[in-house]
Amino acid sequence: MHRLGLAARTQTMGAAIGTEEIVVNGVVAVCDPLGGLYLPETGMLVVSDLHLEKGAAFARRGMLLPPYDTVATLNILSAVITRYDPKIVVSLGDNFHDRKGSAHLPQELRSLIAAMARGRDWIWINGNHDPDGTVDLPGTCADELVHGGLVLRHEPSLISGKGEIAGHLHPAATVRRREKSVRRACFATDGNRLLMPAFGVLSGGLDLRHKAMHGLFDRAALVAHLLGRDRIYSVRYASLMG
């Protein structure tokens, strides 16, 4: 990957192997290859677009998908929480794939979430798929959260992106490696705004060069932090494949 014009890596002492430390609006954050963002100064873990119960949502519409997506996503989330032991967990919207998802969540899956939330604050940011919030789950629901110089919301704002951490667009990027193209979900940031990768195992991705991304970043400063199998690969926007 170093042949692809990778941005300089700045991994710090004490950070998990394979992570990447970045700065958003003056706030230090750690990108984890499992898709979580950890803010060490406040002990906050941010994830986005879990899209829990997506298989169940499709089944309600007569389209069958394997019914194991929620368990798989929650197991990955549990691994990230175990790694950082955060004081606060924020899930940045589209927590469930539709309005009915949390109400119909099986009890054993509720118990998994309750175990992860025990002893820490948990905040569900409302998304366009689940604007009504969650039902009978630990934590609180909000449209956005202002915390430590950052604004956390589901959809990025076109008015001001300074200090914004958002989801919704499922950023992804493509690079060339050993004569093959590799496409991965990514954290995308220019130092002012950060877009989170989708955390859900059945969630797709939208390329950083898509028109929906226009106007969100200073492309001269934009870096894609791609999720690898066991590490983050940081690639400047100019080095990405079109």
Domain boundaries defined on the chain: 2-239
Q: Which of 17-21, 34-38, 51-55 has the lowest mean pLDDT?
A: 51-55
DSSP state of 189: E
Q: Give the whole-angstrom CA distance, residue 154 versus residue 95.
A: 10
pLDDT of residue 53: 84
The pLDDT tens digits of the residues spanning 102-156 come to: 888 999 999 999 999 999 999 999 999 888 999 999 999 999 999 989 999 999 9
Q: Give the whole-angstrom CA distance, residue 225 versus residue 214.
A: 18
Token duo for residue 66: 């394997």
Burial of 186 (0-12, 13-18, 19+ CB in 10 A): buried
- What is the pTM for the complete model shown? 0.89
Q: Give the whole-angstrom CA distance, residue 54 versus residue 236.
A: 32
Q: Give the whole-angstrom CA distance, residue 113 versus residue 116.
A: 5
CB 185 within 8 A of CB 227: yes
Token duo for residue 173: 């990027």
CB 101 within 8 A of CB 56: yes
Place of tokens 């990957």: 1
pLDDT of residue 55: 64
The pLDDT tens digits of the residues spanning 205-228 come to: 999 999 999 999 999 999 999 999
Section 49-67 average pLDDT: 71
Q: Give the whole-angstrom CA distance, residue 225 versus residue 168.
A: 17
Q: Beta-carbon neighbour count of residue 188 at 10 Å?
A: 24
